[in-house]
């Protein structure tokens, strides 16, 4: 046998054996099958950054378009912002110190905002909204001079992710640094700089420059949700449900247009006296009588000429419309990580138990976003910047580290949940300070106010049940829940 033919046969045999081995190995997992039913499933083995490289700009633009024009997406973003940040994630510092007073003056005023619009808590809300809508947000440190009149010579400038120069991609220099979509890394993979446009690339009017500048990583915060190891850029949270939201909007528009067109045809008039034997025959010389009116208005009584029949139109019904829309909205809520009830405000099918379960599940997501995105990526870094800036004007931090107080979570049934909290405190399962923080308050401030109040009450010889020393014996109510 020809050696060439033999070689081809051997190669074909090896390929066949490899295919059989592969099928045997993956047969236990149907999802790994290569059969025809899976042939249309495209699964490229790309990294997180390769996936984002060609898609991020379009995903971000479409997400913003949906946020502008789709009330469901706008609602989801507002629900995330309101639940994660609320009135603000605040710093609690032990003792009435100079650094605490300086922090309050700076964080609770527009001194902290380079645009002069928000306090720190307003910036937190804007950051959270940007992260959910665009996938990421940038915060730039802006040191100021003492002569600028600020309580602490520091401001924060919030930038949209469009300011990152993505044309800086794949570049390396003599130091071994590489740039991935505008973010520069050193030889061991640490973020060392960001390439930033001075102006938004999409700003209208003449641009001063589209030349990006290198900003050290110590002066920038890049906040986004990390879904995969090694991910450099954030992805808009609406990405998994973007097509579904668009199709739902188109479906609702089509149904609305259908009903509007149907409503335009109020009456159909049919002549019962004239029947043409041949469609090509000319009409009779004398046309039949017509109805006396061509317009319809409420309260009309009209005589119909003999031989004519009037039929009123009935708009077509849309079977299963509510259920179809509800299913899509549930999928959108799941994609964003919020509850269906929070997204839609529809509590028609909710009882106390199901409402509480959905609320608790949603709050688990909220807690994760608060801890990772706002506290870890934003608040702690801002505190480090503030502490350094405060030292420049002679304010010593005293080695204090703040405890971050999350906004209060509303109770579903306070008559049950408050007694349960009291029982936990009395049973040693939690502390009074932690319970107060769960209400979004500063325990030190609450204790100070309680002491002042009790002092006034004692001076005036007044007794209230709010004073534990005067309260009657307390027991756990039967209907309290944990």
Does the pLDDT value for residue 463 go beyond 50? yes
**Residue range 240-244: average pLDDT?**
94
**Residue range 340-360: average pLDDT?**
85
CA dihedral of residues 86, 87, 90, 94 (deg, nearest 10): -130
Does the pLDDT value for residue 429 go beyond 80? yes
Chain segment 115-154, per-residue pLDDT in tens: 999 999 999 999 999 999 999 999 999 999 988 888 899 9
Chain segment 432-449, per-residue pLDDT in tens: 888 888 887 888 888 888
Interacting residues of 296 by C-beta distance below 8 A, sequence separation 6+: 266, 267
- At 366 the pLDDT is 95
pLDDT band at 267 (very low <50, low <70, confident <90, very high): low
- At 285 the pLDDT is 56
In 3-state terms, what secondary structure has residue 242?
Answer: helix
Does the pLDDT value for residue 292 go beyond 60? no
What is the phi/psi pair of residue 390, to 5°? Answer: -65, -35
**Residue range 377-391: average pLDDT?**
95
**Residue range 41-51: average pLDDT?**
86
Q: What's the CA gap between 183 and 200, in Å, rounded?
A: 17
When mean pLDDT is compared across 74-83, 261-270, 365-374, 447-456, the lowest value belongs to 261-270
- At 482 the pLDDT is 46
**Total residues found in the chain within this entry:** 482
pLDDT band at 283 (very low <50, low <70, confident <90, very high): low
Chain segment 64-85, per-residue pLDDT in tens: 999 999 999 999 999 999 999 9
Does the pLDDT value for residue 473 go beyond 70? no
Does the pLDDT value for residue 226 go beyond 90? yes
Q: Of 192, 49, 90, 76, nearest to 133 (Cα)? A: 76
Q: What's the CA gap between 178 and 174, in Å, rounded?
A: 10
Average model confidence (pLDDT) across the chain: 83
Does the pLDDT value for residue 286 go beyond 60? no
pLDDT band at 472 (very low <50, low <70, confident <90, very high): low
When mean pLDDT is compared across 186-190, 404-408, 437-441, the lowest value belongs to 437-441
Chain segment 295-325, per-residue pLDDT in tens: 656 656 566 666 667 666 666 666 778 888 9
Listed as own residue / partner, the contacts of 177-184 with beta carbons closer than 8 Å and 24 or more positions apart are: 180/49, 180/232, 181/49, 181/52, 181/53, 181/56, 181/232, 181/233, 182/212, 183/222, 183/232, 183/233, 184/214, 184/217
Name the residue with tokens 């990006």. 212
Does the pLDDT value for residue 451 go beyond 60? yes
Which stretch of DSSP H or E encloses residue 184? strand 183-185
- At 465 the pLDDT is 67
């Amino acid at each position: 046998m020809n050696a060439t033919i033999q070689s081809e046969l051997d190669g074909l045999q090896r390929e066949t054996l490899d295919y059989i081995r592969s099928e045997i190995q993956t047969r236990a997992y149907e999802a790994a099958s290569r059969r025809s039913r899976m042939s249309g499933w495209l699964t490229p083995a790309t990294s997180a950054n390769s996936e984002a490289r060609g898609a991020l700009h379009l995903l971000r633009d479409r997400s913003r378009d949906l946020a502008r024009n789709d009330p469901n997406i706008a609602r989801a973003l507002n629900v995330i912002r309101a639940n994660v940040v609320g009135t603000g994630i605040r710093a609690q510092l032990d003792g009435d110190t100079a650094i605490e007073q300086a922090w309050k003056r700076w964080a609770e005023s527009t001194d902290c905002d380079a645009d002069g619009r928000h306090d720190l808590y307003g910036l937190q809300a804007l950051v959270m909204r940007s992260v959910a809508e665009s996938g990421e947000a940038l915060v730039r440190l802006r040191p100021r001079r003492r002569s600028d009149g600020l309580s602490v010579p520091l401001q924060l400038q919030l930038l949209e992710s469009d300011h990152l120069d993505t044309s800086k991609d794949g570049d390396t220099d003599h130091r071994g640094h590489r740039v991935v979509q505008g973010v520069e890394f050193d030889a061991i993979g640490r973020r060392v700089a960001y390439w930033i446009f001075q102006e938004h690339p999409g700003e209208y009017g003449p641009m001063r420059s589209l030349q990006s500048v290198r900003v050290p990583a110590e002066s920038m915060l890049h906040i986004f949700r990390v879904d995969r190891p090694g991910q450099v850029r954030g992805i808009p949270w609406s990405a998994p449900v973007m097509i579904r939201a668009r199709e739902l909007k188109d479906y609702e528009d089509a149904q609305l247009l259908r009903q509007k067109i149907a409503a335009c045809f109020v009456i159909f008039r049919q002549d019962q006296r004239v029947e043409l034997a041949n469609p090509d025959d000319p009409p009779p010389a004398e046309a039949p009588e017509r109805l006396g009116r061509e317009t319809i208005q409420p309260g009309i009584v009209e005589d119909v000429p003999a031989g004519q029949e009037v039929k009123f139109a009935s708009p077509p019904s849309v079977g299963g419309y509510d259920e179809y829309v509800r299913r899509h909205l549930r999928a959108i809520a799941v994609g964003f990580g919020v509850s269906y009830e929070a997204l839609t405000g529809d509590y028609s099918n909710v009882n106390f138990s199901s409402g509480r379960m959905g609320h608790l599940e949603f709050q688990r997501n909220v807690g994760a976003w608060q801890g990772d995105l706002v506290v870890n990526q934003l608040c702690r870094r801002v505190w480090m910047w503030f502490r350094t800036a405060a030292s420049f004007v002679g304010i010593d931090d005293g080695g204090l580290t703040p405890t971050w107080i999350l906004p209060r979570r509303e109770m579903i049934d306070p008559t049950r949940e408050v007694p349960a909290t009291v029982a936990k405190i009395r049973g040693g399962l939690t502390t009074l300070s932690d319970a107060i923080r769960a209400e979004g308050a500063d325990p030190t401030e609450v204790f100070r106010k309680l002491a002042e109040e009790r002092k006034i009450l004692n001076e005036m010889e007044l007794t209230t049940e709010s004073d534990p020393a005067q309260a009657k014996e307390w027991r756990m109510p039967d209907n309290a829940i944990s």
